[in-house]
Structure 1
């Protein structure tokens, strides 16, 4: 049975500039399918066969936007530890027991410079789970003799850190 949840935050990839970039293949696939499959006009200078246009439309016009829309970072602080799930990449929560937490602090960071962007990232300052913004909680975990760092992005990092403090106190 799961421990009671002290804190929960669900974040989605909702930056406008990201959706504008994602929209490019979506619009092209919809337009190409409309042009060639519905109007019967070849799409492009060297048109692909109809089956390929249909496949491209299904992948980039339907499945890709559904996949991208489903991406979310779920962070929970429970009595037994910190749990993180970056759906759909993590099939279940990754849990970090409080006993392994050596330090944590609310931080403002540069997602591009420090971690190489948003998502599940590995950068010069360690690993990060981020979806938007530039604030979060930086954790240091003991892994044997080695310390591992993990930045977890948050829109409400002070509440997140306070829940971690309450959880560790228990």
Structure 2
């Protein structure tokens, strides 16, 4: 039984401004000085289209069930990552600084032993500490709802 589900995407206006600005600059440069060979044209065309498409496809899906926590960061995870309740020592929502603690958003490893993070936006996350001592922070835009679904 699913007790919590959240799907997050990169929706920050400033990120899309940078991506679309870069894309526009590439298209303008190609228009002004197009590649001379068909192979070069194909490569540049694919790269030009793929950058915004890559970011548009990215999403972080978090599910909490009676069995545990499932996380999938598309397109990096081909299947959900599963963390059973038995393997988790503690799980608490906390505020964090994405830049100073983890170096930004995405899939990152923290500085000074903070462990791994999966995040898309914001500064709220579900901090998991495993019985093995490892740590994982899962970013969320729904801190109250995700904390209510935690079984520990």
TM-score by length of 2: 0.90
Listed as ranges, the matches of 1:111-122 within 5 Å are 111-122=98-109
Alignment equivalent of 2:110, drawn from 114, 120, 123: 123
Residue in 2 aligned with 1:38? none
Residue in 2 aligned with 1:6? 3
Instruction: Please give the alpha-carbon distance, in whole angstroms, between the structure 1 residues aligned to 2:58 and 2:24.
Output: 20
How far does residue 102 in structure 1 lie from its aligned partner after superposition?
0.5
Give the match's secondary structure for 2:53. Answer: helix
How far does residue 71 in structure 1 lie from its aligned partner after superposition?
0.2
Larger Cα-atom Rg: 1
Instruction: Please give the alpha-carbon distance, in whole angstroms, between the structure 1 residues aligned to 2:29 and 2:37.
Output: 10
Alignment equivalent of 2:24, drawn from 17, 24, 27: 27
Q: Is the 8 A contact 1:29 1:57 kept in 2?
A: no
Listed as ranges, the matches of 1:29-108 within 5 Å are 29-33=26-30, 35=31, 42-43=32-33, 48-51=35-38, 52-60=40-48, 62-108=49-95
How far does residue 104 in structure 1 lie from its aligned partner after superposition?
1.4
Structure 2: runs of 5 or more not aligned: none
How far does residue 137 in structure 1 lie from its aligned partner after superposition?
1.1
- RMSD of aligned alpha carbons: 1.6
Residue in 2 aligned with 1:154? 140
How far does residue 17 in structure 1 lie from its aligned partner after superposition?
1.6
How far does residue 55 in structure 1 lie from its aligned partner after superposition?
2.4
Structure 1: runs of 5 or more not aligned: 36-41
How far does residue 23 in structure 1 lie from its aligned partner after superposition?
1.8
Alignment equivalent of 2:130, drawn from 136, 141, 153: 141
Instruction: Please give the alpha-carbon distance, in whole angstroms, between the structure 2 residues aligned to 1:6 and 1:21.
Output: 36
**CA displacement, residues 125-165 of structure 1 (integer Å, 9 cap, x when unaligned):** 2110000000111110112xxx0111110001121111113
Instruction: Please give the alpha-carbon distance, in whole angstroms, between the structure 2 residues aligned to 1:7 and 1:65.
Output: 29
TM-score by length of 1: 0.81
